[in-house]
Amino acid sequence: GSGGGGSPGTLALLLGEGAKRLPQAIIIGVKKGGTRALLEFLRVHPDVRAVGAEPHFFDRNYERGLAWYRDLMPRTLEGQITMEKTPSYFVTKEAPARISSMSKGTKLIVVVRDPVTRAISDYTQTLSKKPDIPTFESLTFKNRTTGLIDTSWSAIQIGIYAKHLENWLLYFPIGQILFVSGERLISDPAGELGRVQDFLGLKRIITDKHFYFNKTKGFPCLKKAEGSSKPHCLGKTKGRTHPDIDQEVVQRLRDFYRPFNMKFYQMTGQDFGWD
């Protein structure tokens, strides 16, 4: 340890003390749900240390081994929580068993959002990278005339939350998974962050004093980002304008997701108000 008086904590970190630890908590999903916002908000907490980039360890890099994974982590002091986020874990078949074999006690966080807007957001992201892709409408259906929805399209597949959750519940008790509402993360960031801090066993340090609502972005932003005195909004890849989607197709998707949403509400004991 660091001897002497004063506050050893900060000094110890400056001296490169503390150790790299495997994460005790992981944001496992979902893509386009609000995971980046949640991580950036959480990093304001002095007892949270997180990896900025998505490690994709339990889905793409597992063969590299736990030592490689641990080395990606920031150094922490006793009592601090190490975290990472990789939203694709939630839909990865092998991820629950792999995380459980690292530690059965890992706390899992899933940021969920209305599956229809999530799908459109997912499509919007892809469109920004590949402007020549087919329309959202044509990708939604296997066959537009029969109205059969193509559940193999990942943008639609990811939103069937109940189905993916079943896989996690084979390895983790439901109480070890926190479900954060992507909608409430925008409308009441401090409220959702309160739930997250409680779940992680952290003091409720992040409160509404930390946020202001940016009208232009339509997003809450931090008055001060982690380690900075400047206000901080999410980058320009966040909060993109969605294309107008045929309302009939949107309605068809709402109807498709409804039973899965109801099942998900039952499983989690939470009504997310998507219908």
Asked if residue 34 belongs to a known ligand binding site, the reply is yes
32 is catalytic: yes
Residue from 20, 31, 32, 224 carrying the catalytic annotation? 32
List phi, psi (to 5°) of 269: 70, 25
Residue 2: partners with Cβ closer than 8 Å, 6 or more residues away: 8, 11, 12, 15, 17
Is 273 labelled as part of a ligand binding site? no
> Parallel, antiparallel, or unpaired: how do β-strands 75-76 and 48-50 relate?
unpaired
- Residue 32 labeled ligand binder: yes
Is 130 annotated for ligand binding? Answer: no
Instruction: Count CB neighbours of 243 within 10 A.
Output: 11
- Does 35 carry a binding-site annotation? yes
Q: Is 121 annotated as a binding residue?
A: yes
Which residue type occupies 130?
Answer: K
Distance CA 10, CA 16 (A): 10
Residue 239 in marked binding region: yes
Tokens found for residue 40: 């950036």
113 annotated as belonging to a binding site for a ligand = yes
Instruction: Check whether 227 is labelled as a binding-site residue.
Output: no
Q: How far is residue 130 from each of residues 28, 115, 123, 235, 245, measured CA to CA in Å?
A: 26, 22, 10, 20, 18
Binding site feature residues:
32-36, 113, 121, 238-242
**Would you list which residues are annotated within the binding site for 3'-phosphoadenylyl sulfate?**
32-36, 113, 121, 238-242
Catalytic residues, by residue number, are 32
